Structure 1
Amino acid sequence: KTLREIAAIHPRTRGDLMLVHGIGPSKLEKYGDGLLAVVREAASPAS
Structure 2
Amino acid sequence: MYLRTKRIKRSVGDQGHSAMPALSAAFDHPDDAARYAHERIGNRRDRE
With structure 1 as the length reference, what TM-score do the two structures score? 0.29
Between Structure 1 and Structure 2, which shows a larger proportion of helix residues?
1
Using the size of structure 2 for normalisation, the TM-score is 0.29
Which gives a bigger RCO, structure 1 or 2 (Cα 8 Å, sep 6+)?
A: 1
Which structure has the larger Rg? 2
